Amino acid sequence: MRAADLAVIRTGPDDTLPLVTADEMLRGHPALVLAPHPDDESLACGELLAAAFQPVGPGAHVVCLTDGAASHPASQRVPPVDLAALRRQELVAAIAHLGGQETDVTWIGAPDGALAAGKEIVGAIVGLAMATDAGLLMAPSPLDPHCDHVAGAEIGRRVAMALPGLRLGFYPVWSRWHGGGVAPVPQGLRAVCLQTGANKVRKAAAIAAHRSQQGQVINDDPDGFEMPPGFATFFADRDEVYFLSKQEGLG
């Protein structure tokens, strides 16, 4: 992202944002969701994905950009190669809870914590967007305070530049959490809200499937990553917030 794209505008609480529906977001075409790590897709886009995966929905595809293997570096019981395999299994289980299948997931497997918007990854996702006839690309917010999320946002921007007909949106995770539910909005975009309701149970189950990130699997690395208290519940219960172009006729 260019520096000008990173100016911060504060948005209000969820209930003050313009509402959108899943149908308005999808417009009859599949969604392609870029997840920097396995769990971001469920936390931030679970309601949208569940709607897309319904029998009457247009479908969706999730691209997991990193292998997620760096969260517990000191674990002897679950070394990084095994953790990557575990997190892949958790992602597939999460997608199943949302109504999708293993074939609805593409695993890029870049090193966790070292994602870059390289030509190979961008090209692969451009090809995937074309193959799935995606109409909407959702990427992490460039204002999320995590290097992989920033890189994921840049990947999304480059893919959208290569495919002018592909609509691009962003979703906040860590910036929303650290803001107490109020996320900063990248300059030139506006925040909208998709209410979590019809698929709340599916979304909660998908988030719960990511057990290794919630202190339920690895117990021999006290300094390993674990979702903060209340984090999973926060995203399971809250409506979903997206950042869209101001030109979008939504909300």
**Look-up: residue for tokens 């897709």?**
41
SS3 47: helix
Q: Compute the distance between CA of residue 210 and CA of residue 168 in angstroms, rounded to an integer.
A: 26
Residue 172: per-residue pLDDT? 98
Instruction: Output DSSP code: residue 116.
Output: -
Residue 157: per-residue pLDDT? 98
CATH 3.40.50.10320 fits 3-245, yes or no: yes
Residue 7: per-residue pLDDT? 34
Q: Rounded to two decimals, what is the model's pTM?
A: 0.93
- Domain boundaries of the chain, sorted by first residue: 3-245
Q: Compute the distance between CA of residue 25 and CA of residue 244 in angstroms, rounded to an integer.
A: 10
- State the first-to-last Cα distance of the chain, in angstroms, to the nearest integer: 26
Residue 9: per-residue pLDDT? 38
Contacts of 71 (CB under 8 A, 6+ apart): 83, 112, 212, 213, 224, 225
Residue 15: per-residue pLDDT? 61
Instruction: Give mean pLDDT in consecutive 10-residue pieces for the chain, a chain of 251 residues.
Output: 35 72 97 98 98 97 97 94 97 98 98 96 98 98 98 98 97 97 95 94 98 94 94 96 80 45
Whether the CA torsion 242, 71, 104, 56 is positive or negative: it is negative
Residue 4: per-residue pLDDT? 32
Residue 251: per-residue pLDDT? 45
Residue 11: per-residue pLDDT? 46
